[in-house]
Amino acid sequence: MRLTPQLLLSAYCEGIFPMAHEDGIYWYDPDPRAIIPLDGFHVPRRLARIVRSGVFEVRVDTAFTAVMQACAAPSDGRETTWISPEFVRAYTDLHRRGFAHSVECWQDGRLVGGLYGVSVQGLFAGESMFSLAPNASKVALVHLVHRLQRGGFQLLDTQFMTAHLRQFGTIEISAAAYKRRLAQALLVTAKF
C-alpha cells in the first residue's frame, strides 16, 4: 500500500498512524495513548533558562525534509528506524500541502535539532524529534507547544509515553478517551 496524502490524513483523522518495518508498513492505534495536555505543559526550570538564552535560532518549516532525514538517521542504541525513504517522500508531500510541519533549532547556521508532525484542524500529531546538540529537541518542543497554544490547537498527540516526554507533563489516556478528544479537535479550525 502506497502512502498518499489522502491515506495519511484519513488515518490521522481516525486516530491511527503508520510506521515502517522491514516487511512493510504497520498501522498503530495504541492503547493507552500518550498526549501532552496543552494547558498542562511543563517546562523544567533549567530548560526555561536555555530557551530564554537564545542559544538556538528557532525556525519553522524551513528544512522539513532535512528534519525528517535527521530523525531517520541511526544513533547510539538505534541502528534502524521506522522512518523509511517512502515516509520521507510521503510526509514531505504532506508538508508541501500544508499538513506537516517542522520546528528546527539552528546553531551557527547548522541544523542541530528539531521535530516534525502532522496537523489536521485542531490536532497536531508529533512524529519524531532529533538532537545533535544538548537540549535542541527540547527547545523545539517548547516552541512547538507555544505555537500550538497560540494557534488554537486542542490536542498534541505524542503516540507513546517515554521518560523524555514524561518530564513535560505527558499523560497516557485510553484509546477511547483519545478518540473522543480527537473528534473534538477535528471540529476546531486551528492555525499552525
Residues 57-91: tens digit of each pLDDT: 999 999 999 999 999 997 766 556 778 899 999 99
**Which grid cell is 18?**
503508520
Where are the alpha helices (H) located in the chain, listed in sequence order? Answer: 5-14, 45-53, 64-72, 85-96, 136-151, 163-166, 175-185
Letter string b/e over residues 68-91, b meaning 16 or more CB atoms within 10 A of that residue's CB: bbbbbeeeeeeeeebbbeebbebb
Q: pLDDT-based confidence at 179, cuts 50/70/90? A: very high
Residues 127-166: tens digit of each pLDDT: 999 999 999 999 999 999 999 999 999 999 999 998 889 9
Average pLDDT over residues 19-42: 93
8 A C-beta contact, residue 27 and residue 15: no
State how far the Cα of 61 lies from the Cα of 102, in Å rounded to an integer.
Answer: 5
Domains in the chain, CATH or no CATH each? 5-185 (3.40.630.70)
Q: pTM here? A: 0.95
Return phi, psi of residue 43, to 5°: -105, 110
